[in-house]
Amino acid sequence: MSYVYKDVRLKRLRERRRRILEKLPPLEEVLRGSVLVRSLRCGKPRCHCAEGERHRATYLSVTLAGGRTEQISLPAALVPVAERGVAHYHAWWTAIEQLSAINRDLIRQQRQPSAQPHRRPVRRSPRPRRP
């Protein structure tokens, strides 16, 4: 590979990396978890949920280290905030995967070619000796 082509390729990879970083949402708004809507019965015998439509409750569900799950009840005003934070988390996660792929390509491009490629010695079966 020519050095000019290699320099152009490195420049393009670095430019892609810069564009990905520019598009990222603010890190301080990242929120790991899932926003869930559940339909519940309150348990009161005369409530409309006993026979018909149930009460809707929205939660932020997060699985913690060790497998424990935490659920936080969200008032209606905080649902968009939580959904935006979860979307930001997914955007960062996607960007990390893309940046990692670009960085692998940069490493490959920056390797110095060795003088001779490393080859395994060919093993030959021993020849039978002549009498």
Cα–Cα distance list, 35 to 8, 30, 72, 84 (Å) = 44, 14, 10, 10
Instruction: Kindly state the helix (H) or strand (E) to which residue 54 belongs, with its residue range.
Output: none
What is the per-residue burial (b if ≥16 Cβ within 10 Å, else e) of 116-129?
eeeeeeeeeeeeee
- The tens place of each residue's pLDDT in the chain, 131 residues long, gives 556 667 888 899 999 999 999 999 999 999 999 999 988 888 888 888 888 888 888 999 999 989 999 999 999 999 999 999 999 999 999 999 999 999 999 998 888 665 555 667 677 767 666 66
pTM score, whole prediction? 0.70
Beta bridge partners of residue 59, listed in sequence order: 36, 73
Residue 77: the pLDDT is: 95
Residue 96: the pLDDT is: 96
Residue 47: the pLDDT is: 87
